[in-house]
Every structure is written in C-alpha cells, then in structure tokens.
C-alpha cells in the first residue's frame, strides 16, 4: 500500500487516480475519486493534504502535488462523460441528516447510493456548510461547492434549507419520523475572548463576518481592522477585509508562526497582500470611545505548545510588555464550537462535542454524529472521512449486519479511513498489505525532477475582488506532475523482472495484462524484487 493512500482520511485510491491522469484519462480519474469522495473540486482546493506529507518522493526530490492533481481531475473531466455510480434498490428506510456540510452530505451521498431515502435539514438558506459560507471565494468559489452539492442531490436527496432543528422542528420529531439520524451540524458557533470591552460596537465574530460576505450582506469596516486568531478563519477574515478595501489589517496571533494552526500557504498569502501579523501576542482588553472600539490592548507571551487538538501548555504573559494598537473594527476568530443545545441529555457529550465510536454511533440507538460535531474543528477531508464511517455505521444498523468482518475488510490505512467502493461491492476481504517505504524502492530507475508549481493570481490583480488566487495546474502540467509518481507498490510494466530473471521464470500474461511468476521454475533468488523500481514484488509470507 502506498503511504499517500494510507494517510488519506477520505480513503481515496490516489495511486490509481494519478495513473489515470498520466494517461490523460481525466473522466476515469474523477470516477475513481467519486467512489470514495463526492467533493473532489472542493478537496482539490482546500484539503490540507496529509497524503503529500507522506509521499515517498519527498525523500528523493519533491513530493507529488496530489491535491492539485485531484483538482485537475475535477476541472478537466467532461461531466457528461463521467459515469455515475449505480444506486442500489430502494430499502424503504428513511434517514435524517442534520447539517449539509461535507460530513452530512458525504453521508447522504453514500446512504442514497445504498438505497435509503435521505432528508437533510439545514438551518442556513443554502446547503454546503462551512465550505459554502465560511471559506471565501478567493480560496473556494461558490459555484464549485454548488455544483458538487447538486450532484449529490441528484441522487434523490431532499434538502430542507432554512430549517433549524430545535427551532423549526424538534429533534424528537426528526428522530421519530426516520429510521436513523445523523447529527452533522458543524462548528458554526464562534468562541468569545472573554475580555473587557468585547461587547463594544465594532467587534465582529469571525465566522459571522465570513458568512455575511458569502450571503451578500453588507459589511461595515473601519479603516483599521484587527483580527484576533491564528487559524484559517482568522487568515480568511483578514484577507477578506483587505479585499473589501480596508487599508490597514493586522492579525493578532497567540502562537508563534511555527505552531499557528493556519495553513502556511495561507499565512504567506496574507503577508504578500500586505497584512501584518503580530505573533505570540495576547489581547487583554478592548478599549472604546463611547460605545465604539478604538484600540486593542495586548501583551506579549512566551512559550506554549499545541497540537491539532489544541493547547496542552498555555503560553505565559511577559509582564511589562503591554501595548495598544489602533483599531476601529475587531474581528474575533479564535475558534468555533458546535451548538448542541437542541439535543437531549440522553446523548452523551465530551465537553462541547458529541461522544461517538468509530462508526459515529452516539449513546442513543439509531442516532449518529460526524464531522466537527464530534472532533475539534478539523478539515474538510476529515469531515468527509467521518461522514463515510457514519454512512457505513447507519447502513449496518439498518440492515442488522455483523460489523466485525465488514470493518476489517473495508478499512484503509492509518487515518481510520474506509473504502465505500468495497462496501458497495460487498467485498470484505482485507487487501491493504504492507506499507511501501522509500527504502523499499529502487530509485536508480527514476530521474529527479521539480514539482509543478501552482500558478497564482498576481498580488497586484487581487485588489478588491474575490477572484480565485490559486489557479490550478493546466491539463498538460497535471499530466507532467502525475508522471513523477513512483507508483509505490504497483507494477508499472517496466519489464525489469522479466529482463533480469536468470531462470526465465517471469512470463507476461496477455489475459491479465501483467507479469506472473512460474513457481515451478523460480529458484527464489530475489533479483526481481531488488530490481523492481516500485516494490511491486515481495516475498510470500515474509520468507
């Protein structure tokens, strides 16, 4: 198994996708993505690509631009030529999904393919969740999200927008009217600073600000804006404020640049656009004239450590380092939380999150949860992965199936991912195999090359518009980048085994279009294994 696939939370068949792009088969590549992930265009733009970090090519020259290749499949595949996955027969079962973000809609997608009737309840006027209303268009165009949501809805899914569970319909009614229910409400509730002056006029919550812009509400900002936070929402808010014509935007970030949670590419983009960042700085008070904000008082901090789950060592204030910055508007973007007030006490929680098992089961029978409702605010691809597991869990529940063999058979890699392609095919045989390391490859057969660089909209052209900054690889550049792939663990028909075998034990099977080993002739010298560039041959049973 290649390490890229082993570390993809969505469980995509990355090696196969890249091989198809090598051969200019963009439609087939997109078909393979959609067997595991309905949001290729979205992930191709905003995924935090753990797959690329694990790419074996990183130890040779530069890792493969996997996310850019995924986007290319979405951008260049001719929609009319892309085959749709076949739906199974109607089961007569009804499933409710609360929230239309990536977790909820991924779950809806696979449940519909499995033959269940799905109704999605969405509080906002448009479906899509945070990717649709919380990520600015310069990173993720609305029409990309809308197109992919529409393709999910085409499976027969009913979406009730403007319907908030707990306000417009009770949670109890939702549960009683359906055979199963998924809670995938997302982290739409902004956290507060809890410092003096936070109730001043001119203080805006980060997600509310971004949602307002996306939903085309008017935004009133002063000439100096301070954004508080170190995550992607803070960076998005600052870059959005800049595009609205704000001449001076500063970000106040508690972390150092090395450990701030925002993607470094986005941080660099903000700096290029003239946004200054005050690192290791803590806001302590918002000052105002009358009711209106005019200054933000801060103090410098030292130390502190955090991981993807949050702080485990809080930074310490450096006494005597207080200072103020001028700001007529302050955008607070220090994180989001899930609103679980509408849920009954019978559903167990861990802090602000819903407690679930691997398949998304809550403590209430037939009720599941996924996405940011169950984990600290994470990424789109992690939400997709959890939505898939919940779909698997719900289908097993509705069928009354034995989950143990199923889970073993469909699990993929190290990120708790599953293969819905295998589950839909009722193939429960485990085929992951061992992980291919860089040391396993024979890199003497490869040539060093540079990674294709993503073209970007010139900084001077960004100005006050929300045009997409990352322009994506051209069709030709995507093919060139795909050709750099080592194809770890997969035979590329290079014929080395056939050429080097001293016993002529390697033969080509025309029917299978692959090489096979004549075991009656093979003496087990292992030359074929040594000379294989991709580690596609191994000793049987470790012998």
Which CATH number do you get for residue 172?
Answer: 3.50.50.60
- 310 in the same domain as 221: yes
pLDDT of 541 above 70: no
Summarize pLDDT for 392-422 with one digit per residue, the tens.
999 999 999 888 889 989 998 766 799 999 9
The two tokens of residue 327 are 């700001």
- 172 in the same domain as 201: no
- Three-class SS of 343-356: CCCCCCEECCEECC
Q: Is 214 within a domain?
A: yes
- 396 in the same domain as 297: no
- 304 in the same domain as 208: yes
Q: What are the φ and ψ backbone dihedral angles of 250, each rounded to 5 degrees?
A: -125, 145
- 193 in the same domain as 180: no
The two tokens of residue 37 are 């992930």
For residue 273, which of 253, 232, 245 has the smallest C-alpha distance? Answer: 245
Q: Is 372 within a domain?
A: yes
- 438 in the same domain as 316: no
- 160 in the same domain as 212: no
Alpha carbon 247 to its chain centroid, in Å, reads 32
pLDDT of 151 above 80: yes
Q: Where among 291, 314, 337 does a domain terminate?
A: 337
Measure Cα distances from 451 to 42, 405, 484, 488 in Å: 22, 41, 8, 17
Beta strands in 248-326 (DSSP E): 248-252, 276-278, 281-289, 292-302, 305-307, 310-313, 316-317, 323-326
Q: Where among 290, 307, 337 does a domain terminate?
A: 337
Q: Is 130 within a domain?
A: yes
Q: Is 418 within a domain?
A: no
Q: How sure is the predictor about 210, in pLDDT bands with cuts at 50, 70 and 90? A: very high
Mean pLDDT over 271-298 rounds to 96
Q: How sure is the predictor about 512, in pLDDT bands with cuts at 50, 70 and 90? A: confident
Q: Is 343 within a domain?
A: no
- Mean pLDDT of the residues in the chain: 93
For residue 122, which of 79, 185, 75, 49 has the smallest C-alpha distance? Answer: 185
Q: Is 407 within a domain?
A: no
Summarize pLDDT for 246-279 with one digit per residue, the tens.
999 999 999 999 889 899 999 999 999 999 999 9
- Percent of the chain residues past pLDDT 70, beyond the cut: 98
Contact predicate 260/232, CB 8 Å? no
pLDDT of 528 above 80: yes
DSSP per-residue string spanning 81-131: GSPPPPPPPP---EEEEE--SHHHHHHHHHHHHTT-EEEEE-SSSSSSHHH
pLDDT of 543 above 70: no
> Total domain count for the chain?
4
Distance, first Cα to last Cα, the chain: 19
pTM confidence score: 0.93
Q: How sure is the predictor about 216, in pLDDT bands with cuts at 50, 70 and 90? A: confident
Q: Is 508 within a domain?
A: yes
- 57 in the same domain as 14: yes
Q: How sure is the predictor about 58, in pLDDT bands with cuts at 50, 70 and 90? A: very high
What CA–CA distance (Å, rounded) separates 536 from 499?
Answer: 15
Domain of residue 67 covers 3-83+432-482
Q: Is 41 within a domain?
A: yes
- 274 in the same domain as 253: yes
- 193 in the same domain as 176: no
- 73 in the same domain as 7: yes
């Amino acid at each position: 198994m290649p390490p890229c696939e082993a570390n993809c939370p969505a469980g995509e068949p990355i090696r196969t996708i890249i091989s198809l792009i090598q051969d200019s088969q963009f439609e087939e590549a997109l078909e393979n993505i959609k067997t595991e992930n309905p949001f290729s265009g979205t992930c191709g733009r905003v995924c935090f690509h753990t797959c690329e970090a694990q790419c074996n090519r990183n130890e040779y020259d530069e890792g493969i631009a996997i996310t850019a290749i995924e986007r290319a499949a979405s951008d260049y595949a001719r929609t009319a030529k892309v085959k749709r996955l076949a739906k199974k027969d109607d089961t007569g079962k009804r499933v409710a999904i609360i929230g239309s973000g990536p977790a909820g809609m991924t779950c809806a997608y696979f449940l519909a393919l499995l033959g269940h009737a799905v109704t999605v309840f969405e509080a906002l006027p448009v479906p899509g969740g945070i990717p649709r209303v919380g990520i600015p268009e310069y990173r993720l165009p609305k029409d990309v999200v809308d197109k992919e949501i529409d393709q999910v809805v085409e499976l027969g899914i009913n979406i009730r927008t403007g319907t908030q569970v707990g306000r417009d319909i009770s949670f109890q009614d939702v549960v009683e009217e359906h055979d199963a229910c998924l809670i995938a409400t997302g982290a739409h509730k902004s956290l507060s600073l809890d410092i003096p002056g936070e109730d001043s006029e001119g203080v805006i919550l980060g997600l509310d600000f971004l949602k307002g812009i996306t939903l085309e509400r008017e935004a009133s900002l002063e000439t100096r804006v301070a954004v508080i936070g170190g995550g992607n929402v803070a960076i998005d808010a600052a870059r959005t404020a800049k595009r609205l014509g704000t001449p001076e935007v500063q970000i106040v970030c508690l972390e150092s640049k090395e450990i701030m949670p925002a993607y470094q590419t986005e941080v660099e983009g903000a700096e290029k656009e003239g946004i200054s960042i005050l690192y290791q700085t803590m806001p302590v008070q918002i000052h105002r004239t009358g009711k209106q904000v005019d200054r933000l008082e801060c103090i410098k901090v030292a130390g502190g450590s955090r991981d993807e789950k949050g702080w485990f060592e809080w930074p310490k204030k450096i006494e005597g380092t207080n200072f103020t910055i001028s700001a007529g508007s302050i955008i607070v973007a220090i994180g989001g939380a899930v609103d679980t007030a509408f849920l009954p006490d019978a559903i167990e929680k861990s802090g602000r999150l819903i407690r679930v098992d691997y398949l998304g089961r809550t403590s209430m029978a037939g009720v599941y949860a996924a996405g940011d409702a169950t984990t600290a605010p994470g990424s789109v691809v992690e939400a997709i992965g959890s939505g898939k597991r919940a779909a698997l869990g719900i289908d097993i529940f509705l069928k009354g199936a034995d989950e143990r063999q199923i889970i073993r058979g469909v699990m993929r890699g190290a990120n708790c991912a599953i293969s819905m392609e295998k589950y839909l095919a009722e193939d429960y045989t485990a085929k992951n195999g061992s992980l291919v390391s860089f040391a396993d490859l024979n890199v003497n057969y490869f040539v060093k090359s540079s990674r294709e660089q993503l073209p970007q909209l010139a900084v001077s052209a960004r100005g006050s518009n929300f045009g997409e900054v990352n322009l994506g690889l051209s069709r030709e550049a995507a093919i060139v980048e795909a050709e750099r792939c080592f194809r770890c663990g997969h035979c590329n028909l290079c014929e080395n085994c056939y050429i080097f075998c001293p016993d002529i034990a390697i033969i080509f099977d025309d029917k299978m279009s692959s090489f096979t080993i004549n075991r009656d002739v093979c003496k087990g010298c292992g030359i074929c294994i040594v000379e294989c560039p991709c580690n596609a041959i191994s000793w049987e049973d470790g012998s």
